[in-house]
Amino acid sequence: MGGLDPAFVREKLKVYLIAGSKDTSSPLPVVLNEAIAGGITLFQFREKGPGAMEGQMKEALAMQLLKQCRNSGVPFIVNDDVDLALQIDADGIHVGQDDEDAAEVRKKAGKNKILGVSVHTVEEAYTAVEAGADYLGAGPIYKTGSKDDAKKESGPEWITEIRRNGIDIPVAAIGGINAGNGKEVIEAGADGLSVISAITMAPSPYQAAVELTSLFKDSKSR
């Protein structure tokens, strides 16, 4: 079981921006500020891919983004890099099936950090719950250009399947999600919409975040 109150995690997952320095044309801190002003509820620092920062540069950027998030009450999650997350006292960590084992991460992080785990099968979902995940990352729902090794898109049916199997923990849907298709993903049972390009590639990251936020106002979210 996860360490945090599921109702708190559900609220935070709603508009979940994921980004690293290679995902934006303007500097990432500028995009993050706009997205925060537009209403994002959670941020994941995902610094990977060709040309990604490493070492001190990566840590310095993480610290800067963490500070922006702390000033705005937006929890800050680190993708993959458990050591960095613990070193800077991030609010949480997201790991996938090829990353550090989720149960080990839970042990290292303690019960007060948000732990997210990517899942692609019902079996993986049960295992993630056992390992102490606070939320599941479920995707790719639609085709994505933001992750080279993404699996084939599942459609919102993957979320429905998770719920049909009685898995009730918070779920963040990911992959090709935007303001045009987000509503059907929420209606399939997702608690949150995780996006990279819908915000980082938008002409106005602020406006994109506002539009994603508005999907929760009149949707039958759980």
Ligand X SMILES: Cc1nc(C(=O)O)sc1CCOP(=O)(O)O
Ligand Y SMILES: Cc1ncc(COP(=O)(O)OP(=O)(O)O)c(N)n1
Q: Which of residues 126-185 bind ligand X (CB under 6 A)?
A: 137, 139-140, 144, 146-147, 150, 174-177
Helix (H) or strand (E) holding 85: helix 82-87
Compute the chain's Rg from CA coordinates.
16
Give whichever of 90 and 196 is closer to ligand X, judged by the CB atom: 196
Binding track, positions 34-63, relative to ligand X; x by CB under 6 A: ------------------------------
Query: 122: closest CA among 111, 130, 132?
Result: 130
Q: Which of residues 107-126 bind ligand X (CB under 6 A)?
A: 118
Length of the chain: 222
| Catalytic (active site) residue 214 | no
Residues 194, 195, 196, 212: which binds ligand Y (CB under 6 A)?
194
Which residue reads 């508005």 in tokens?
Answer: 214
Query: What per-residue string of b and e applies to 193-202 under the rule 16 or more CB within 10 Å gives b?
Result: bbbbbbbbbb
To the nearest whole angstrom, how small is the minimum distance from the Cβ of residue 155 to ligand Y? Answer: 16
* Residues 38, 63: Cα–Cα separation, whole Å: 22
> Active-site residue numbers?
46, 118, 147
Where on the chain is the footprint of ligand Y (CB under 6 A)? 18, 44, 46, 79-80, 94, 96, 99, 116, 118, 137, 139, 147, 172, 174, 194
